[in-house]
Amino acid sequence: MKTISSIIAATLLSIAIAWPVHAAEKPISIQINQQQLALKGQVPFNDNGTIVVPFRPVFEKLGLSIDWNQTTGTITGTKEGLTITLQLGSKHARINGVVTPLAVAPKLINNSTYIPLRFVGEATGNEVSWNAKSKTVAITAKTNQANPQEISSFFEKYITYTNNKNYDGFMSLIDSKSPLAVIGPQIKIQMEQYNQTTALDKLEIISLQPTEATVHTLETTTHLNGPFTLDNTSEYIYSLTRTASTEDWKINNLQIKAVQYILPDKLLNAEPAVTKADETDILAVLQSNLDYTNAENIQGLLSTIDPDSPALEQTKQLYSQIFAAYDLKSTLESSKIIHYTKDTAAVYMVQTSIKLKGPDFQDNRSTSVTMLKKSKEGKWMLDQTYPISVDKLTP
């Protein structure tokens, strides 16, 4: 029986290629900051339009510390604020943990690992140019490098405007050409309705170019007063842009990587004074929602949700897909009203979901807080759900 290491070794050998033959062709030369790169007999070559080179001399010249994992065929280059990872045979690299596609995969040639040169040059913040006549690749430091302090200052303003409810200041940080610009009215309503504070727990610059930056943040938002909502810690990826003629960064795009809602013990143990009639109606609509879910009755399910809820359309799409793929059984193990006014309520729920039929599915027990609103007609309806935790159920 083959060992794991021998299988991996065989795989690495299978992607190794013989040295390419280029008869009477002018050799490709590499210059880094106007200095010829010494390759010690190793020759760069053109792999379907992409110049590939042995990684070690390039990494060293660009100031990257090298870690080579022979077992997995993984190359890691690091220097302050930057980690680049490539793997033999894979057309996906990572820059500070973010997956980036490659034009060609790294290859093993005559016991040397060859990598795409342009990728490494640009990942390290340099300009890469190709002179076809002289067959020279030039890697040069960008003359107009962005300052990381500018990014830190930008987010200081971002947090200040957010916490001071400075709508005009906040919107001045959004690129007017960005899809985010159209949600200005919703942001204004949220600032007016909610009193909360946001703290920047972590800021990591993934990439920084003169006119583009990618930034990873971890932010904690704490509810102070106003309409009921939960505290949360959120992870974001921001895309920032600016023009060559201005120094002002703007948010062009925002990706939500994760949201963890926080339910403190004080809120979980709250005992709001709820009228008996409202308590009965609130728990009844939650049970109806669950019954319609188990019956896979999409129209019935939607009838329990406030028509004005921002989650209505998303719920319709999600459960239509679930009903088409699975036969699940959901059970409400416990529920507790933890917030109540005459027209709003929040209910803490513990629920299990078990697969009866369908593709792979992890049976689970989940906890959540569901918000409900009372309509003008006096009918309680679901508005929004905050997921708290999900635990696997084992047989």
Domain ranges of the chain: 4-141, 148-262, 267-392
Residue 52: is it exposed, middle or buried by C-beta count within 10 angstroms (0-12/13-18/19+)?
Answer: buried
Burial 131-155 (b: 16+ CB within 10 A, else e): eeeeeebbbeeeeeebeeeebeebb
pLDDT band at 325 (very low <50, low <70, confident <90, very high): very high
Q: What is the mean pLDDT of residues 119-148?
A: 85
Asked whether the domain spanning 267-392 has the same topology as the one spanning 4-141, the reply is no
C-beta separation of 228 from 211 below 8 A: no
Is pLDDT of 197 > 90? yes
Q: What is the mean pLDDT of residues 276-301?
A: 97
How far, in Å, are 32, 44, 217, 303, 380 from residue 27 at the CA level? 17, 8, 45, 71, 76
At residue 181, the 3 state secondary structure works out as helix
- Amino acid, single-letter form, for residue 2: K
Hey, what CATH class is 4-141 in? alpha beta
Task: Check residue 14 and give its pLDDT.
Answer: 41
Task: Check residue 25 and give its pLDDT.
Answer: 63
Regarding the domain delimited by 267-392, which CATH topology (the fold level of the hierarchy) does it fall under? Nuclear Transport Factor 2; Chain: A, (3.10.450)
Helices (H) and strands (E) in the chain, counts: 10, 21
Q: What is the mean pLDDT of residues 219-237?
A: 95
Tell me the residue length of the chain: 395
Is pLDDT of 22 > 80? no
Instruction: Give the whole-angstrom CA distance, residue 249 versus residue 239.
Output: 10
In this structure, of 10-14, 163-167, 379-383, the range with the lowest mean pLDDT score is: 10-14
- For the stretch 290-315, pLDDT in tens is 999 999 999 999 999 999 998 899 99
Which two three-digit tokens encode residue 297? 């009755």
pLDDT band at 145 (very low <50, low <70, confident <90, very high): low
Is pLDDT of 359 > 80? yes
Which two three-digit tokens encode residue 87? 């793997």
**Reduced DSSP (H G I as helix, E B as strand, rest coil) percent helix, strand, coil of the chain, to 5:** 25, 40, 30
Regarding the domain delimited by 148-262, which CATH topology (the fold level of the hierarchy) does it fall under? Nuclear Transport Factor 2; Chain: A, (3.10.450)
Within 10 angstroms of residue 317's Cβ, the number of other Cβ atoms is 10
Contacts with 246 (C-beta within 8 Å, 6 or more apart), sequence order: none
CA angle 377, 379, 381 (to 5 degrees): 130
C-beta separation of 372 from 393 below 8 A: no
- pTM confidence score: 0.63
Task: Check residue 21 and give its pLDDT.
Answer: 44
Q: Is the dihedral of CA 229, 338, 363, 260 positive or negative?
A: positive
Which two three-digit tokens encode residue 19? 């040295």
